[in-house]
A and B are shown apart, each in its own frame.
Chain A
């Protein structure tokens, strides 16, 4: 269809949405070395990542996504980004890298891109666990949120995965914000994001 009105997303998003790369086909036998799923259909998006890894290098990738155009395009772009990448580098990919690879997303759609890197990390963790190196990259690329107690975004992510879905529970798990309390706003934003991603199923 030829129209003069611009699409609500960039050409790259449109391309990845219309012709997504590396989708796991029905009945395809993809022998994954690591796999991870995050998100929740109830919250509107869920992603599955399957990785084929040799010598810690990602050889091939397949994925499935339930979600909106941004979620589908983000997963597709991320899957292209990580092929041939060392798992240590892949582990440090941030949502922002995906948004850049897509040439940007509308402001209210940024949250649709935050799932991919999490699913990827879960898949890499799954591979590390299988190869007897559980938690190897735990602190890799982590950002300190609570400077008083050295608590990172990964610690918050981990606590939410273990069921800390509100501020009080997060404090019980991590002691975050119990000293000066300056980190609370940022920590609560992260909490909100992670609950959306890993929340109750």
Chain B
């Protein structure tokens, strides 16, 4: 036991980047209502427009005016898109919604809501690595398809989808395309212009900015209905007094994420690969979840069959290592991660899964520390487990 904390849960959320924090402290007094006509109001508004431009730049949109609105976060952005589909699809023959089985719950549940409202909704399956099947997409896409919503990268296993191909197929049928880029932005290049998507969701607290602020990119000319009605803020697409501090923090976080992207990617993938190779070397009978190459540079999801995820998480926690798990017990439900199950992983492997998501404060020393602490924990839990090593080996035979 010591006082060391190794935070490896950056896909859950990130700390503030010190420069974002500094920027926000400087802007604490930008209090004026950005809708006010007076000088202070105009100053606040101008700062917000600077932030909008910076967030736009992160996703390849150089003129974010009219195309990027600020929201309270990823969930609101995603819900705004699905609520829009409700408005334009409810009296139309074009009302089919296609999404994937591995989306974040806010997309899954918004899609299920439309399903309950009578919209035909199709959840695309994924392969063992978390990739969608383009043959399946082609077979369900037709002239009645209203929206195709596919996440750019998955939060649990990090698998990256080929969104350009999704757009190409969907556009051939005249469908709208949305991508939830919450986990991808700031970790890999995302260019909404080059991709040609109609909507893209962003969240600030995943890129070292404050919580409670997100954005929705809406391509010029693509339909949008406000989820929150009221004043004329955000071009009438999202009412509510401007969250000055959140927006300004977002702008600065986005600027830094863009500036640091290459350094971030090479540093993260080096650390993640070291962690992955080390675990493969030091812990017998494991399974790496997700795609080997089309994967977020910071994400590593591993199943340790024979040991249960919540137990692993809590033993790691006592060693100061902060991670997350796809086990049912940790979620409070009886089912393990919907993402891992969708990849065809058996429940016994999903219950024993741990997600390591690395970030800017992790060092090689941290990885060495984890590689030191983790193996005896797995060995200990396995030694008190009813599951025998030969059963584990057999289970793994089935997935490899």
Measured in the bound complex, the distance between the Cα atoms of B386 and A23 in whole Å is 11
B172 contacts partner chain A, Cβ-Cβ < 8 Å: no
Indicate if the CB atoms of A17 and B314 lie closer than 8 Å. yes
**Contact stretch, chosen from A45-53, A132-140, A149-157:** A45-53
Contact with A along B271-297 (1 / 0, CB 8 A): 000000000000000000000000000
Interface residues of A in 51-72 (CB under 8 A from B): 64-72
Measured in the bound complex, the distance between the Cα atoms of B325 and A68 in whole Å is 11
B347 contacts partner chain A, Cβ-Cβ < 8 Å: yes
Which residues of chain A come closer than 8 Å to B385, judged between CB atoms? Answer: 64-66
Given the known interface contacts A66-B385, A67-B308, A69-B310, the answer about A42 and B348 at a Cβ–Cβ threshold of 8 Å is: yes
Given the known interface contacts A42-B346, A67-B329, the answer about A26 and B383 at a Cβ–Cβ threshold of 8 Å is: yes
**Contact stretch, chosen from B105-113, B128-136, B330-338:** B330-338
Indicate if the CB atoms of A68 and B308 lie closer than 8 Å. yes
Interface residues of A in 1-50 (CB under 8 A from B): 1-2, 8, 17-18, 20, 23-26, 37, 39, 41-48
Which residues of chain B come closer than 8 Å to A68, judged between CB atoms? Answer: 308-311, 327, 329-330
B384 contacts partner chain A, Cβ-Cβ < 8 Å: yes
Indicate if the CB atoms of B384 and A41 lie closer than 8 Å. no
Measured in the bound complex, the distance between the Cα atoms of B318 and A18 in whole Å is 10
Interface residues on B, range: 20 to 34
Measured in the bound complex, the distance between the Cα atoms of B310 and A17 in whole Å is 12
B1 to chain A: closest residue by CB: A1
Which residues of chain A come closer than 8 Å to B318, judged between CB atoms? Answer: 1, 18
Given the known interface contacts A1-B1, A2-B3, the answer about A48 and B332 at a Cβ–Cβ threshold of 8 Å is: no
Contact with A along B293-323 (1 / 0, CB 8 A): 0000000000000111111001000111000
Most buried by A among B319, B332, B384: B384
Which residues of chain A come closer than 8 Å to B328, judged between CB atoms? Answer: 43-44
B309 to chain A: closest residue by CB: A68
Indicate if the CB atoms of A42 and B347 lie closer than 8 Å. yes
Measured in the bound complex, the distance between the Cα atoms of B382 and A25 in whole Å is 11
Pick from B327, B330, B332, B384: contact of A72, CB under 8 Å? B384
Question: Whole-angstrom distance from the CB of B2 to the nearest CB of chain A?
Answer: 7
Measured in the bound complex, the distance between the Cα atoms of B329 and A44 in whole Å is 7
Show 24 A/B contacts (Cβ-Cβ < 8 Å), sorted by A.
A1-B1, A20-B384, A24-B384, A39-B386, A41-B351, A41-B386, A44-B308, A44-B328, A44-B336, A44-B347, A44-B351, A46-B386, A47-B386, A64-B384, A65-B385, A66-B306, A66-B385, A66-B386, A67-B311, A68-B309, A68-B327, A71-B329, A108-B332, A109-B329
* Smallest CB-CB A-B distances: 7 pairs: A68-B329, A68-B310, A108-B332, A66-B385, A42-B347, A46-B386, A41-B348
A: residues with CB less than 8 A from B are: 1-2, 8, 17-18, 20, 23-26, 37, 39, 41-48, 64-72, 108-109, 111-112, 196
